[in-house]
Amino acid sequence: MTERAASLPAADALIRRIFQALAKPGPSGDVAPETVPVCDMLPEILFYASLEPPPMARLAASVASLAPRLAWRPRPGAEKEGAAFLAGHANAYVVGPGGLEPRDDVFVGISLMAPGLRYPDHDHPPEEVYISLAGGEWKKGDEDWQAPGIGGLVHNPPGIVHAMRTKDEPLLAIWCLWAGS
């Protein structure tokens, strides 16, 4: 397996399954790049991530090279969460629907959120792991908020309600979901 910045036993099986699936490339997607003003935060966030040990530095470099090719958009329904949230976050698919590699067994995407915001509670059947590239806190189920830090992982079992929030620092994270059989 590729070198990893962190380990999280609960997520190991999921990560193995995703790596195995991605070893067989899917088709190339025809993505029309889109950007939103909050994406202006990416270079500074990625600069700090690039100072981390090699796995995170390489991940930051990969995100920096991919970011201009992606369609960055607010989450569907974000307008109901208020103007600050609508303007202050964006998501982009790398793998999966609307991504550079459109496939239906693995979804990999990126979430960006400015300081002082809360991402709404959400849930989805696929099991998920987040890789944090910046600040931000995560909550799932009845557990307390946790701050994984740069290189930290967050694992969400299938269907669990979860959310993110930011205080003084932005959040940048990659999410990987297994939607295959």
Contact (CB, 8 A) for 116 and 166? yes
Question: The sheet that has 89-95: what strands, in order across it?
Answer: 89-95, 106-113, 171-178, 127-132, 153-156
Count of residues of this chain found to bind Fe ion when the rule CB under 5 A is applied: 1
Angle at 151 between CA 163 and CA 76, to 5 degrees: 30
CB of 4 to Fe ion, least distance (A): 20
Smaller CB distance to Fe ion: residue 128 or 137? 128
Q: Which stretch binds Fe ion (CB under 5 A): 14-22, 51-59, 90-98, 125-133?
A: 125-133
- The partner residues of 89 in beta bridges, in order of sequence, read 113
Q: Which stretch binds Fe ion (CB under 5 A): 5-13, 17-25, 92-100, 127-135?
A: 127-135
Q: Report DSSP state, residue 109.
A: E
Smaller CB distance to Fe ion: residue 105 or 128? 128
Report the residue closest to Fe ion, judged by CB.
Answer: 128
Q: Which stretch binds Fe ion (CB under 5 A): 13-21, 44-52, 98-106, 126-134?
A: 126-134
Q: Which stretch binds Fe ion (CB under 5 A): 6-14, 41-49, 102-110, 128-136?
A: 128-136
Within 13 Å of residue 29, how many CA atoms lie on the same side as its CB?
18
CB of 6 to Fe ion, least distance (A): 18
Q: Is 131 left (phi over 0), alpha (psi -120 to 50) or beta?
A: beta
CB of 162 to Fe ion, least distance (A): 6
Smaller CB distance to Fe ion: residue 103 or 162? 162
CB of 81 to Fe ion, least distance (A): 15
Smaller CB distance to Fe ion: residue 49 or 156? 156
DSSP secondary structure of 54-65: HHHHHHHHHHHH
Strands 171-178 and 127-132: antiparallel
Binding site for Fe ion (CB under 5 A): 128
